[in-house]
Structure 1
Amino acid sequence: MEASEDYTTLFDQYLRGELDKAKVIEFENRLETDEHFLQQFNLHKETLEGIDQHFDEMLKSKLKVIEQEISHPTATSRPWVWWAIAAAVTLLLVSTFLLYAPRESIDDTFQAFYEPYPNIVNPSSRSLHSQSESWSVAYDARDYAFAMLAIEKELLLSPDSVDLLFYHGQAAMATNQLSKASGQLQVVLNRDSSRYTGPAIWYLSLIEFKQGRNEATKKYLDRLISGHSDYEDKAKELYAIINK
């Protein structure tokens, strides 16, 4: 991973979805294991939010000037002030769009489509291990961090449980651990005739989409459109957004 002086470029590339899959996995693993790296990343995001706010304030200021010019025009101001104001506002809008719109657009679209999968595990079919109920209760309560830990304990005893693997991936996704979620959902997807095949493909498409990998997203969406009617409409809708 890059030295500290290169963190800004690395952070920007991650936020814009410009890193390849291997680097995303490496980046997210480091966020989970390197406290200093996580602090630097959070500071970087806070700085970007401050810049964003600054752009907003500047834009409001320019718009106020326009309003004043409209209300109190002068003969000397008309020819060049309008051009200067228009150029300044255009520059601010373009700069803001280039810096933030792609990431915000991806995040907003992701949130519009994403909802953690409901807990459909029948209590009578759950493991009899003591942790099985605690992960289920935590998951239903949307305490995904606790649910994830409880499922990990269960997986030590039942490593081949498709239910546990799927919901471990769901809990990881809900806590924004996308590389871990992707790994578990891929395992589920490789199981033949799993009741979670369609959902796994859908959530994998969302993970790829959030990370800006549109071609990989489309491949998953194609599978849903051609073979999973429950997700066909949503897949087509997301596909249309990507192709805009």
Structure 2
Amino acid sequence: MEKDKEQLIEAYFAGELSAEAQQQLEWLLAHDTAFEEEFRFEKEIRDAVIYNERQQLKARFRMLDKQAAKPTRKLATWWYAAASILVLIGVAWFFFDRQPTVDSEKLYAQYMEPYPNVVAPRVRGSLEVDQVMAEALANYDKQAYAEAAALFEQLYKEAPSNHAALYLAVCRLLLDQPEQAIRLLENEDWADTQVSLPVIDWYLGLAYLKAGDEGQARQYISQVAASGSDLAPRAEELAEKLEVLE
């Protein structure tokens, strides 16, 4: 394929197409069979890599939550997870190492994922509290974040808990309210909790990135990168991109 067509495809996936280039791309997709096949092939590869990255990130969150509740784990399981992460990063790097530098908004969009639902409401003497948590999580799972946020906020006021604070902060972040997410995450006491501290630092870093404070974002993401947790490789990758962020 001609070099200018390859550059056109790369510009599309980098989000840098001009209106004129977009028209050219659409024309080629409609009239150039070879170009259309190459474009579809590239898109399928990238979609697969992004999907696998997101699935791996969700798995790491779940492992971190289990680690906080049960600090001791079998060494073989740890090595299996680490090897899987390294393979995934290698594949992702192979396909994306030639991409141009992106801004903070694009980095945020690339790395932001909702914290998975790892909470099963348990009876704590208040059936109403459990019902509110169950309803909040149901809305959260179906991406109705405004409704979920209202319920998590009610729950956090009536029966404060770390999980309520975390899910509320993530909802605020997904609703483009990073300042509120930052206040929640920084004001909550996470010292004695089942939520892994690298998870908190990860979302604080993303919240500051969303808010446009790249210096604070680097600080928190670097802490995650140095934590030795399952999120560390992902954070190290983001930290490197933040260092060269224009």
Give me the TM-score of the superposition, normalised by structure 2. 0.54
Structure 1 ranges of 4+ moved more than 6 A? 58-61
Partner residue of 2:217?
Answer: 217
Deviation string 1:50-107 (CA, Å, 9 cap, x unpaired) is xx99x7459989xxxxxxxxxxxxxxxxxxxxxxxxxxxxxxxxxxxxxxx99x7322
- 2:187 and 2:228 mapped to 1: Cα distance? 19
- 2:228 and 2:184 mapped to 1: Cα distance? 20
C-alpha change, 1:57 and 1:128, in structure 2 (3 Å) is: same
SS of the aligned residue for 1:229 comes to coil
Partner residue of 2:138?
Answer: 137
SS of the aligned residue for 2:226 comes to helix
* 1:73-222 aligned within 5 A: 105-124=103-122, 128-129=127-128, 130-158=131-159, 160-188=160-188, 190-196=189-195, 197-222=197-222
Structure 2: give runs of 5+ residues left out of the alignment: 1-15, 25-99
- 1:162 and 1:59 mapped to 2: Cα distance? 46
- 1:125 and 1:226 mapped to 2: Cα distance? 37
Identity of aligned residues (%): 23
Partner residue of 1:226?
Answer: 226
Output the aligned Cα RMSD.
2.8
Q: Check whether the contact 1:198–1:228 (CA below 8 A) recurs between aligned residues.
A: no
- 1:242 and 1:134 mapped to 2: Cα distance? 37
Letter of the structure 1 residue corresponding to residue 151 of structure 2? A
| Equivalenced residues, count | 150
Per the TM alignment, residue 194 of structure 1 is displaced from its structure 2 partner at its CA by 2.3
Deviation string 1:117-156 (CA, Å, 9 cap, x unpaired) is 0111122267632322211111111111000111122223
Q: Check whether the contact 2:198–2:229 (CA below 8 A) recurs between aligned residues.
A: no
**Residues 168-177 or 217-226, more deviating:** 217-226
Deviation string 1:168-196 (CA, Å, 9 cap, x unpaired) is 111111111111111111133x3213232
Letter of the structure 2 residue corresponding to residue 115 of structure 1? E
**Residues 123-132 or 167-176, more deviating:** 123-132
C-alpha change, 1:203 and 1:125, in structure 2 (3 Å) is: farther
- 1:118 and 1:58 mapped to 2: Cα distance? 38
* Structure possessing the higher relative contact order (Cα contacts under 8 Å, 6 or more residues apart): 2
Per the TM alignment, residue 163 of structure 1 is displaced from its structure 2 partner at its CA by 1.3
Structure 1: give runs of 5+ residues left out of the alignment: 1-51, 62-100
C-alpha change, 1:238 and 1:125, in structure 2 (3 Å) is: farther
